[in-house]
């Protein structure tokens, strides 16, 4: 029996297995007629998002949505709405992203797509976390994790445990964060994803540092940094560098904290990710203050506050303002 050639298969498989640069390369090599297909735009948007080009991701996802809608493909439209919202999220427009994910969730429920329901719940949890709505975030992550687990999708299970660990860490519930990070490591190993292993390892290290063992935490963070760099995951690299700066500050290595913080901010700026930039500026401000660079600290606190307010993360902006004032 003759099989039908699927020109998008290689890119689709690459994205499913986390090889986003390979996916982008495969998509770029396809002939012009294939590059007009709605799924080509969708896959391009997904690869661009993972590679940190959020503006391109948003644009391509909107194009995919229009093309799927034109041919009456409701499933494709739903997936494109979700990716478009992710692109908007990466650009820092939290309110627009929340609307997009909520719309995608509604479409997924109408179509009975459990995987997309779980993905949208996970994304809505991320927005709740950014807005310091921690209980809502944890609720969304539980919902997403249940859905992923029922489908045997270990990538998704790992992501929700990673996000849960971050949420607990944000609340200084470090024992809960460590338990969540351990669950994330188990799921990431089952998924066979180096990217998720790096993120889980980083969360384990950060939780250990929060529990009063920053030196052991640094070991885990260094392992995570090695993986992130080998995977060329710049966003993960920026986050791990920031956490290494925090751990260094905890052991009194103030100059090291400044160095790591400055490295983190430089990498975050390369990614153009508003949240990563804001977080790096906030932690770098603390390091500057610790070494007596008060003017630099004031500038970094002000930049972090402004970035948080632009994102709509008012609670975090207010916290940065209070911290800058020493209160």
Spatial separation of the C-alpha atoms in residues 23 and 20, rounded to whole Å: 5
Judged by DSSP in three states, 104 sits in helix
Contact 237, 267 (CB under 8 A): yes
> What are residue 57's phi and psi, to 5 degrees?
-60, -45
Residues of the chain with CATH 1.25.40.10: 233-321
pLDDT score of 90: 83
What secondary structure, in 3-state letters, does 296-319 show? HHHHHHHHHHHHHHHHCCHHHHHH
Q: Which overall architecture, per CATH, does domain 233-321 show?
A: Alpha Horseshoe (1.25)
CB-count burial class (<10 Å; 0-12, 13-18, 19+) for 268 = buried
CB 278 within 8 A of CB 252: no
- Contact criterion met (CB below 8 Å) for 54 and 87: yes
- Of 108, 106, 86, the C-alpha closest to 97 is 86
Residue 1 in this model has a pLDDT that exceeds 50: no
User: Can you give the pLDDT at residue 272?
Assistant: 84
pLDDT tens, residue by residue, 115-173: 999 999 999 999 999 999 999 999 999 999 999 999 999 999 999 999 999 999 999 99
Q: Is residue 327 pLDDT above 70, yes or no?
A: no
Nearest to 10, CA basis, from 23, 29, 19, 24: 23
2-37 pLDDT per residue, tens: 456 789 999 999 988 778 889 999 999 999 999 999
Give dist(CA 17, CA 87) in Å, integer: 20
Q: Would you state the pLDDT for residue 172?
A: 94
Q: What is the pLDDT of residue 232?
A: 85
pLDDT of 70 reads 95
Cα–Cα dist 20/253, whole Å: 36
User: For residue 187, which phi and psi values (nearest 5 degrees)?
Assistant: -70, -40
Residues 6+ apart with CB under 8 A from 205: 216, 217, 218, 219, 220, 221, 223, 224, 243, 247
Q: What confidence score (pLDDT) does residue 271 get?
A: 86
DSSP character at residue 114: H
Q: What is the mean pLDDT of residues 165-185?
A: 97
Among residues 20, 60, 64, the alpha carbon closest in space to that of 39 is found at: 64
**In contact, 23 and 58? CB cutoff 8 Å:** no
Determine how many CB atoms are found less than 10 A away from the CB of residue 288.
23
- C-beta of residue 238 within 8 angstroms of C-beta of residue 276: yes
Burial of 10 (0-12, 13-18, 19+ CB in 10 A): middle
| Structure confidence at residue 60 as a pLDDT band (50, 70, 90) | very high
CB 241 within 8 A of CB 225: yes
Tell me if the domain spanning 9-112 has CATH number 2.60.480.
no
Q: Euclidean distance between the first and final Cα of the chain, in Å?
A: 74
Q: What is the pLDDT of residue 17?
A: 78
Whole-model pTM: value is: 0.85
C-beta separation of 21 from 195 below 8 A: no
């Amino acid at each position: 029996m003759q099989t039908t050639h699927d020109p998008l298969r290689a890119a689709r498989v690459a994205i499913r297995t986390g090889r986003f640069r390979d996916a982008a390369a495969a998509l770029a090599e396809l002939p012009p007629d294939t590059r007009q297909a709605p799924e080509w735009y969708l896959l391009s948007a997904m690869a661009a998002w993972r590679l940190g080009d959020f503006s391109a991701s948003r644009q391509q996802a909107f194009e995919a949505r229009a093309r799927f809608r034109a041919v009456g493909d409701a499933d494709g439209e739903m997936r494109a709405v979700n990716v478009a919202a992710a692109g908007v999220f990466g650009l820092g427009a939290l309110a627009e992203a929340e609307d997009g994910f909520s719309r995608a969730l509604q479409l997924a429920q109408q179509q009975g797509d459990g995987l997309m329901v779980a993905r949208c719940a996970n994304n809505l949890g991320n927005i709740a976390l950014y807005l310091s709505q921690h209980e809502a975030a944890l609720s969304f992550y539980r919902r997403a994790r249940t859905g992923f687990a029922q489908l045997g999708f270990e990538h998704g299970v790992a992501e929700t445990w990673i996000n849960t660990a971050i949420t607990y860490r944000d609340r200084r519930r470090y024992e809960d964060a460590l338990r969540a990070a351990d669950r994330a490591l188990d799921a990431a190993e089952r998924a066979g994803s180096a990217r998720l292993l790096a993120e889980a390892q980083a969360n384990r290290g950060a939780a250990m540092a929060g529990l009063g063992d920053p030196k052991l935490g640094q070991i885990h963070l260094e392992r995570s940094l090695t993986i992130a760099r080998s995977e060329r995951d710049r966003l993960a690299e920026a986050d791990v560098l920031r956490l290494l700066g925090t751990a260094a500050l905890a052991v009194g290595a103030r100059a090291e904290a400044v160095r790591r913080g400055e490295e983190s901010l430089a990498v975050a700026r390369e990614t153009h990710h508003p949240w990563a930039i804001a977080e790096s500026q906030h932690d770098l401000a603390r390091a500057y203050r610790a070494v007596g660079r008060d003017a630099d600290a004031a500038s970094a606190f002000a930049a972090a506050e402004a970035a948080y307010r632009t994102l709509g993360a008012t609670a975090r902006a207010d916290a940065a303002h209070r911290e800058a004032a020493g209160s």
